[in-house]
Amino acid sequence: MKTYRLLPLTLAIGAALALPVRAQSLLELYDAARGHDAAYQAAKSQYEANRYKADQAKAALLPTVNFTAGASSTQLRTEASGGTSDRSFDNQNVGVNATQPLYRAANFASYQQGTRQADLAEAQLLTAEQDLIVRVSQAYFDVLASQDSLAFVQAQKTAVAEQLASARRNFEVGTATITDTREAQARFDLVTAQEIAADNDLRVKKLALNQLVGKADTAPHPLAPATALPALLPDDLNIWVQQSQDQHPAIRQARLAVEVATLESEKAMAGHKPTLDLTASHNVNRNVGGTAFSATDTRTHNTTVGVQFVLPLFAGFATQNRLRETLALEDKARADLDAAQRNVAQATRASYFGVVSGLGQVKALEAAETSSQSALDANKLGYQVGVRINIDVLNSQSQLFDTKAKLAKARYDMLLGGLKLRQASGTLKSEDLQSVNALLAPAPAVPVSPAPATQPK
């Protein structure tokens, strides 16, 4: 009875496992990664913390107000020649004290540093966002490239199996030698090993994408057939380099670091400058039972308003040494800015030439694919009429499918290279994924695991 009761549940689980997986677009997986990726979430939390820390510097320019209250009880004994007297009295006091800085050069420099720190936190978050875009795109296209490699290997395996069957038939009728059969069998075994490796590589790439976006069994949309790759715009290297110098987050951070270091030097010089504060207080003091000099209850109100001026005279050379330290750190910040500008320009040039080279490789591989298909057709025809041998056909098949795999990989690298070029120039935004996503074809749902191929009989 228990077996029959569990049968519907077992069938439901089996049906659920057999259901195909819905394919996802690049934008869908990027949105999922924004809410799941630990590195991006950490950068986002750090941005929030830095922004609130920057707002703390504003407090040094605003007034401070304190409320004070206290109570005490006193027992007084007086001994004299006429005798001893005991008396007790209580004291209660409340007060409000306020201070408003009027001139504090160090506080104003700290406030300016706070605004720079907020901008610096924004640039750091932008860097993390651009890094996430590239990482998601890299993992996405890695899966597509692995899927194409597996599909090409399986297609090659089918073609080799047909060639093996043909060689066996020709050997049986005496029109071919056993060498053709053994060559085809060896190539079939080699392709089978390649299929196993390609299938494992696809599983690994999918696991990496799943972990990045926080989803199980991701299925990226493939590139639409016969898709024309977008042209490189602008096609002027100098424009890309100029954009990188103006917009790259790393350069923005370095420039902000120079400004923060300059303000730190101003804070150090403020150690020689006077300070001026406006002070105000109101205190109420009540004595119950009198005081040590009077037995009468009293209540006093004390209101004070004034200014406090402080002029530093000597601090043991601490201010001078602090100023020398900040000036040296200011020079270091400028050197870091120069290094950032050079590194970003170099990375932008390298990415630009990589995209240009990628476009050339795609065109060359497209021509190679056409030539390889023609060579395969010619070798098949030559094998049928007896002017070509079996190994010629097998080599042509390998060359064709290897060219197809390289072409598919080059196209993905080209799309990814465009995103990396924008990252190198500092102009990469999430909107740039829309143009790449438009080149993808909505794919039908695919099974979770591919069916294994079998050897021909």
Q: Which residues partner with 91 through β-bridges?
A: 72, 287
pLDDT of residue 453: 46
CATH architecture of 21-62+104-273+314-437: Up-down Bundle (1.20)
Nearest to 254 by CA among 361, 344, 174, 334: 334
Q: Is the pLDDT of residue 154 over 70?
A: yes
Burial 150-174 (b: 16+ CB within 10 A, else e): bbbbbebbebbbebbebbbebbeee
- HSE-up (13 A, CA, CB side) for residue 38: 1
**Amino acid letter for position 143:** V
Comparison of pLDDT for 73 and 99, the residue scoring more: 99
Exposed, middle or buried, 130 (CB in 10 Å: 0-12/13-18/19+)?
buried
Give 249's contacts (C-beta < 8 A, 6+ positions apart): 123, 124, 126, 127, 130, 426
Tokens for 333, please give them. 């910040």
Sign of CA dihedral 191, 208, 226, 356: negative
Q: Where are the domains of the chain?
A: 21-62+104-273+314-437, 72-102+275-311
pLDDT of residue 448: 42
State the Cα–Cα distance between residues 50 and 167, nearest whole angstrom: 72
pLDDT over 90 percentage in the chain: 72
pLDDT of residue 20: 53
Please tell me the least confidently modeled range out of 36-40, 174-178, 227-231: 174-178
CB 289 within 8 A of CB 89: yes
Average pLDDT of 169-174?
87
Q: Is the pLDDT of residue 16 over 90?
A: no
State the Cα–Cα distance between residues 263 and 194, nearest whole angstrom: 62
State the Cα–Cα distance between residues 402 and 396, nearest whole angstrom: 10
State the Cα–Cα distance between residues 357 and 370, nearest whole angstrom: 20
pLDDT of residue 295: 61
Tokens for 358, please give them. 């990628």
Nearest to 245 by CA among 342, 127, 118: 342
Q: Is the pLDDT of residue 412 over 90?
A: yes
Longest Cα–Cα distance of the chain, Å, equals 148
User: What does DSSP say about strands 83-103 and 275-288: parallel, antiparallel, or unpaired?
Assistant: antiparallel
CB 136 within 8 A of CB 30: yes
Q: Which stretch of DSSP H or E encloses residue 100?
A: strand 83-103
Comparison of pLDDT for 139 and 10, the residue scoring more: 139
* pLDDT tens sequence across 89-148: 788 999 999 999 999 999 999 999 999 999 999 999 999 999 999 999 999 999 999 999
- CA–CA–CA angle 271, 275, 279 (5° rounding): 145
Phi and psi for 231 in degrees, rounded to 5? -75, 160
pLDDT of residue 224: 87
Q: Please report which confidence band the pLDDT of residue 84 belongs to, taking 50, 70 and 90 as the band edges.
A: confident
CB 29 within 8 A of CB 220: yes
pLDDT over 70 percentage in the chain: 90
CB 375 within 8 A of CB 111: no
Q: Is 270 helix (H, G, I), strand (E, B) or coil?
A: helix
State the Cα–Cα distance between residues 107 and 306, nearest whole angstrom: 20
State the Cα–Cα distance between residues 117 and 330, nearest whole angstrom: 16
* pLDDT tens sequence across 361-371: 999 999 999 99
Q: Is 48 helix (H, G, I), strand (E, B) or coil?
A: helix
State the Cα–Cα distance between residues 248 and 348, nearest whole angstrom: 10
Mean model confidence pLDDT for the chain: 88
Q: Is the pTM of this model over 0.95?
A: no
State the Cα–Cα distance between residues 329 and 62, nearest whole angstrom: 29
Sign of CA dihedral 136, 138, 144, 149: negative
Give 429's contacts (C-beta < 8 A, 6+ positions apart): 422
pLDDT of residue 113: 94
Sign of CA dihedral 156, 149, 224, 446: positive
- Cβ-based neighbour number of residue 243 at 10 Å: 17
pLDDT of residue 93: 93
pLDDT of residue 45: 95
State the Cα–Cα distance between residues 141 and 440, nearest whole angstrom: 11
* pLDDT tens sequence across 430-441: 999 999 999 998
Please give the span between the terminal C-alpha atoms of the chain, in angstroms, as a whole number.
Answer: 44
Residue with tokens 């994924």: 433
